[in-house]
A = this chain, B = another copy of it.
C-alpha cells in the first residue's frame, strides 16, 4: 500500500457519515452479501462501544478489522457502501458505560445516532444469544435486525429492544410567583450532580401516566398538565428518552430514598448558574449531550406553565 493510499484511507476512516438505515436491504440476502465486499465499512468498537477519537469522530475500518467469525450488523448505507458493526462475543462487565458515555458527548448529532444504533444493537445481540421462550440458541436474521430461534418447533423471532423512559421537568410556582424546578440525584451518582427525574414507562400506561406515577413514587408529588417536549435515543444500553414537562401545585417533597439519593427545588438563578458553570454554582448539571440538559435549558427559556 502506498503512502498516498494510506492518507486517503486515513481521511476515509474519520469522516462523519450520514448512514441511511435502508431497511429494504435487511430482508434481501443478495443485496446484503453484495454490500459486504472490499468497500464495506466497519464501525470500529471496543466490545459494544464505538471508538471516538479525541476530536470527536467515529472510526471506520473495513470488514477485515472484525474479529474472525463475529456476527455483523448492517447499520445502513453511506451512499452505495454498506456500513456494519461487529457483535462482541460477550458483554464485558455487564454493560459498563463509563468511558463511552462521556465520549459520546463529543460526537455530532449525526454520529451520535450511528453510535447509538450500533451500541444498542451490538449489546442486544451479545445478550440475546438464546431464545427467551424455549432456551434454544438463536441466530441472527435480517442483517442483524432480528434473531431467530433455531428450534423448529419454537422458531420464535426476536427483535431489538428499545425501552421508553420518561424524563421530566417538574415545575412549581410559589405563592409569590417564583418559578422552581425539581431536581434529583440518583444513587451512586458523582458528587454534586443533579438532573431531571426519570423512569421507565411500564406496560399498560401512557407517557403522561408514567410521568405522573414516577413523580409521585420518587418525590411524593401529584402533577398535572403533562406536556411532551422532545426525545432522544440513549444507548446505555437502549433507551428512548421521552422528555416532558409537568406542573405541580405542591412543594413538599417525600423522597423515596430507595430510588433517589436526594431531591430539591432549584430556582431559575441556581439552574442558570449550574448550566453556565458560573462562580457560586451550587450543583453540577447533567452533561450537555443528555436530554436532561436540553430540557432544563428549554425550561429556562419558556414562560411558566
Contact = CB atoms under 8 A, between A and B. Distances in A.
A115 B235 CA distance: 31
Interface string A213-254: 100010000000000101111010010101000000000000
A208 interface: yes
A132 B134 contact: no
Contacts of A207: 231, 240, 242
A17 interface: no
A213 B21 contact: yes
Interface stretch (A51-59, A155-163, A179-187): A155-163
A271 interface: no
Contacts of A130: 130-135
Interface string A83-124: 000000000000000000000000000000111111111001
A141 interface: no
Interface residues on A, range: 35 or more
A170 interface: no
Nearest to A208: B231
B202 A162 contact: yes
Contacts of A117: 202-205
Nearest to A21: B213
A136 interface: yes
A204 B134 CA distance: 29
A119 B228 CA distance: 27
Among A120, A128, A129, A228, max chain B CB count under 10 A is at A228
Counting every copy of the chain, the complex holds: 2
Contacts of A286: none
A6 interface: no
Contacts of A24: 217, 256, 258
A116 B202 CA distance: 10
Contacts of A115: 204
A135 B136 contact: yes
Contacts of A156: 127
Contact of A240 (B113, B136, B164): B164
A119 B204 CA distance: 8
Contacts of A204: 113-121, 233, 235
Nearest to A118: B204
B231 A206 contact: yes
A240 B209 contact: no
Interface of A: 21, 23-24, 27, 113-121, 124, 127-137, 145, 156, 158-164, 200-209, 213, 217, 228, 230-233, 235, 238, 240, 242, 256, 258
Shortest beta-carbon contacts, A-B, top 5 = A117-B204, A120-B203, A130-B135, A116-B204, A228-B228
13 contacts: A21-B202, A21-B213, A24-B258, A114-B204, A130-B134, A159-B163, A160-B202, A161-B163, A161-B203, A162-B163, A203-B235, A204-B233, A205-B233
